[in-house]
Amino acid sequence: DFLKKTTRRFVSTTNEHKNMGTLKKQLEKLFEVSLKETVPDVVDVEPLVAACAGNNNAMSLWSKIKGKDTRFKGPQPVGQTIMKNLPQSEMIESCSVAGPGFVNIVLSKKWMAKCIQKMLVDGIGTWAPSIQVKRAVVDFSSPNIAKEMHVGHLRSTIIGDTIARMLEFSNVEVLRRNHVGDWGTQFGMLIQYLFEETPNWEEAGESAISDLQAFYRASKAKFDEDPAFKARAQQAVVRLQGGESQFRTAWARICEISRREFQVIYQRLGIVLEEKGESFYNPYIPRVLAMLNDQGLIEESEGARVIKIEGHNIPLIVVKSDGGYNYASTDLAALWYRLNEEKADWIIYVTDVSQQQHFDMAAKRAGWLPSQANLYPKTSHVPFGLVCGEDGKRFKTRSGDVVRLVELLDEAKSRCKAALVERGKDAEWTADELEQTAEAVGYSAVKYADLKNNRQTNYIFSFDQMLNDKGNTAVYLLYAHARICSIIRKSGEDIEALKQTGEIVLDHDDERALGLHLLQFAEVVEEALTNLLPSTLCEYLYNLSEYFTKFYSNCQVVGSAEQTSRLLLCEATAVVMRKCFHLLGMIPVYKI
Residue ranges binding ligand ARG (CB under 6 A): 139, 142-144, 179, 181, 331, 334, 349, 351
Ordered DSSP codes for 340-395: HTS--SEEEEEEEGGG---HHHHHHHTTSS-SSTTEESEEEEEEE--EE-TTSSB-
Closest separation in Å from C-beta 241 to ligand ARG: 18
Distance of alpha carbon 414 from alpha carbon 15, whole angstroms? 53
354 or 399: whose CB is closer to ligand ARG?
Answer: 354
Residue 191 three-state SS? helix
Closest separation in Å from C-beta 139 to ligand ARG: 5
Question: Residue 192: is it exposed, middle or buried by C-beta count within 10 angstroms (0-12/13-18/19+)?
Answer: buried
331 or 523: whose CB is closer to ligand ARG?
Answer: 331
54 or 160: whose CB is closer to ligand ARG?
Answer: 160
Decide: 182 and 277 in contact? Cβ < 8 Å.
yes
Closest separation in Å from C-beta 179 to ligand ARG: 4
143 or 188: whose CB is closer to ligand ARG?
Answer: 143
Closest separation in Å from C-beta 411 to ligand ARG: 24
End-to-end CA distance of the chain: 61
Decide: 512 and 112 in contact? Cβ < 8 Å.
yes
Closest separation in Å from C-beta 209 to ligand ARG: 20
Closest separation in Å from C-beta 260 to ligand ARG: 18
Closest separation in Å from C-beta 403 to ligand ARG: 16
Q: Which of 333, 226, 325 is nearest to 277 (CA)?
A: 333
The two beta strands, 11-12 and 316-319, are unpaired
349 or 395: whose CB is closer to ligand ARG?
Answer: 349
Q: Which residues pair with 346 in a beta bridge?
A: 136, 378
Closest separation in Å from C-beta 144 to ligand ARG: 5
Closest separation in Å from C-beta 185 to ligand ARG: 14
Closest separation in Å from C-beta 354 to ligand ARG: 9
26 or 351: whose CB is closer to ligand ARG?
Answer: 351
- Any idea what the Cα angle at residue 396 is, between residues 394 and 402, rounded to 5°? 115
Closest separation in Å from C-beta 183 to ligand ARG: 10
188 or 277: whose CB is closer to ligand ARG?
Answer: 277
Closest separation in Å from C-beta 49 to ligand ARG: 38
For CA atoms 182, 450, 429, 589, the dihedral sign is negative
Decide: 290 and 181 in contact? Cβ < 8 Å.
no
146 or 292: whose CB is closer to ligand ARG?
Answer: 146
Please identify the residue of the shown chain whose CB is closest to the bound ligand ARG.
142
150 or 579: whose CB is closer to ligand ARG?
Answer: 150
111 or 327: whose CB is closer to ligand ARG?
Answer: 327
Distance of alpha carbon 32 from alpha carbon 25, whole angstroms? 10
Decide: 10 and 376 in contact? Cβ < 8 Å.
yes
227 or 283: whose CB is closer to ligand ARG?
Answer: 283
Give, to the nearest 10 degrees, the angle between helix 245-269 and helix 186-197.
110
109 or 343: whose CB is closer to ligand ARG?
Answer: 343
In 413-553, DSSP assigns E strands to: 459-460
382 or 506: whose CB is closer to ligand ARG?
Answer: 382
Closest separation in Å from C-beta 177 to ligand ARG: 8
Q: Which of 583, 569, 582, 581 is nearest to 519 (CA)?
A: 569
180 or 568: whose CB is closer to ligand ARG?
Answer: 180
Residue 94 three-state SS? strand
Sheet holding 92-98, edge to edge: 49-50, 54-55, 102-107, 92-98
Closest separation in Å from C-beta 152 to ligand ARG: 7
**How far is CA 106 from each of CA 34, 54, 59, 110, 513, rounded to the nearest angstrom?**
17, 8, 21, 12, 12
Half-sphere exposure of 245 (CA within 13 A, CB side): 1
The two beta strands, 274-275 and 173-178, are parallel
Ordered DSSP codes for 23-35: HHHHHHHHHHHHH
Residue 102 three-state SS? strand
